[in-house]
Structure formats: structure tokens, C-alpha cells
Structure 1
Amino acid sequence: MSTNETLRNAKRELRAAVAKRLDALDAESVREQSQAVLALLTSLPEYRQARRVSIYLSMPTGEIDTTAMVQDALERGKRVFIPFTHKAMPAPTQGEDQKPSIMDMVSLESLEDYQGLKRNNWGIPTPTKKSLETRENCIDEVKAGKAGLDLIVMPGVAFDGECRRLGHGKGYYDYFLRRYSEEADGKVPFTVGVALKDQFLDPPASVPVGDKDWSLDTIIVGDGKVIRR
């Protein structure tokens, strides 16, 4: 078995193990942990100082609820960006890294804008393609020499004490960060992973990673832990 196959299998097994834990989690625990994560996030100096932030919009179950984070950021006058996933345009020279679909970060205009978003098949509030005509795209802004993102709040399936993150397997965030870095002369936003305690691996357990997986700057866990890289 190749190294890549071994890594894929290890990630698949960990996703399945965490999914079993999350299936047993009740809504009240998610609510309480989401409140705890919000309080810790808003205490971070990097968050307080950030003017342009990206926040993922959460699924109905199985992860930290970010509704209150979006509201807090907007109330503080921050410029908020949210994920939008779409089919990738073919690159002039396609390599093995070419993705069939990619994720961009587009602007959220107001709380009313957020509340008006329709949910996709995963139950995630998602902007329409039509609305993209009037939304900023942060990578386009960086390409034009304008401000990018200061901080990005990221979801995941599993996290560990070395600030490693396991996603859902599509590579959206890792690829987004690489694209961003290429356009921003190697700079990337401050990355914050937010985790339910059921998604955090206590030592000696760890997240299996490859050379294309990005580590985070900080992880905030629903039981009150804050881990910095």
C-alpha cells in the first residue's frame, strides 16, 4: 500500500470514528459549547484587532454553531466573508492539483443578508450565484492589491494538540489557503479552528496529515481549551 493510500485510509477511519461520537451528541451540548467558543474567540486579540474576517456558516448539527459569531463580527463593524463553493474553471495547464470545485470567500453585507440566505443540501446557508455579482471576492481583492483577510474561522472533523486539522476530505480550505498565499506573496490570514470537545483528540492521538494539509494558528475547543501553535 502506498503512502498516499495509507494516509487516505487513516483519515477515513478517523472521520468515521468522530462521526460516531457526534451522532451521540445532543443539541444542548452543541449550544453550550458554541457559546463557550464564542466567548473565547471574542477574547482573542487577533479577533478583536481583525477588520476583515471569514467565518464558515455551520451545518445544523455536528459542529460549532457560528450564527452568534457572524452576528458579533457584524455588530463590531467587521467586514465578514463567507464560503462559496463552485465548479473550478479549467487551468491553462492542469496538474494533479486541479480541483473539480473550489471554495472562495465572498462578502456578507449585513445580518439581514445572512438571515436571507437559503440552505443547501447540507443545511448550510449559502449565497446564490446571482448575488455574487454584488459581493466582494477576497482573492480577487488580493489580486488587485487591496486588503485581504485578517482572520479566518475554520470548521473541521477532527483537531489535535499540535493544531492539526482534518477536514471533510474535499480539500477546500487547504486549497483556498494555498491560492490565497500565492496571491498575497506568502501571507495568509490568522487561522482559528473551532471544535466541539468530541472532535478534539487528546494525546497521544493525533490527526494524520500530508504535505498539503495546513496547520492552524489556534484551536478553540468547546470545553474551554485554547491551543496555540
Structure 2
Amino acid sequence: MEMVKLESQKDYLSLKNSVDDSGFLTLDTKERVIATQLDLIIMSGLAFDLNRNRLGYGRGCQEWTNPPKTNNDIPESEYDRKLDLILSPNQNF
């Protein structure tokens, strides 16, 4: 995941022109922002578990070819990081 600095709604709307055929951003001109400078990250996912693990939309799209076998646990790897908080309509984790 690459972070980019957006200073206005115009910057955000300009991202539509920077999406490749797979739906990923291809940004060469936007200033990158390191994660320690971010106040909030909102991310989507295919599934979440009660341990704050997330099955997301990885660049390799592995989750499309290897979905979890149950609804209870999301597979983890050494590269995964637990989310600080998961908000849902019924419960926060």
C-alpha cells in the first residue's frame, strides 16, 4: 500500500486518472507520505475476524484465489499487521 499526500478534494478527484487496469493507483507525481505522519487510515477488506485481522485487496490478489476456509479466522502471515480498531454496524472490535 502506498500513501500519498492529498491537500484538497481536487487532489482526491484527480486519483481517478491514476488507476491501472487492475484498479490499483499508479502515482509518479504525488508526494509520498510515510506512515508515521498519518492521522487516520480507513481501509476496506473482504473479511475481518475478532482478532483484528484483515483479509484485504492485496496487489497479488491472493485472497481471491485462497479464501479462508471458515468465517472465524483470517489466515495470517509474517507481513500482516493487526488493525487498531474495526468498526462495523453491529459491533466495534
RMSD over aligned Cα atoms: 2.8
Q: Shift of the alpha carbon at 1:163?
A: 0.5
Letter in 2 for 1:168: Y
Residue in structure 2 matching 1:138, options 33, 36, 50: 33
- The TM-score, its normalising length taken from structure 1, stands at 0.30
Q: Does 2:13 match 1:115?
A: yes
The answer for the alignment partner of 1:191 in structure 2 is none
Distance in 1 (alpha carbons) for counterparts of 2:23 and 2:59: 18
Distance in 1 (alpha carbons) for counterparts of 2:73 and 2:47: 9
Q: Does 2:28 match 1:105?
A: no
For 1:1-229, list aligned pairs within 5 A: 103-117=1-15, 118=17, 120=19, 121-123=21-23, 126=25, 128-129=27-28, 131-132=29-30, 135=31, 137-139=32-34, 148-170=37-59, 205-221=72-88, 223-227=89-93
Q: Which runs of 5+ in 1 are unaligned?
A: 1-102, 172-200
Q: Which runs of 5+ in 2 are unaligned?
A: 61-69
CA 1:165–1:128 in 2, change beyond 3 Å: closer, same or farther? Answer: closer
CA 1:127–1:114 in 2, change beyond 3 Å: closer, same or farther? Answer: farther
What SS does structure 1 have at the residue aligned with 2:3? strand
Larger helix proportion of the pair: 1
Residues matched between the structures, number: 82
Q: Which has the larger Rg?
A: 1
Q: Point out 4+ residue stretches in structure 1 off by more than 6 angstroms.
A: none
Q: Shift of the alpha carbon at 1:114?
A: 1.6
Q: Shift of the alpha carbon at 1:217?
A: 1.0
CA 1:127–1:119 in 2, change beyond 3 Å: closer, same or farther? Answer: closer
Larger strand proportion of the pair: 1
Identical residues among aligned pairs (%): 37
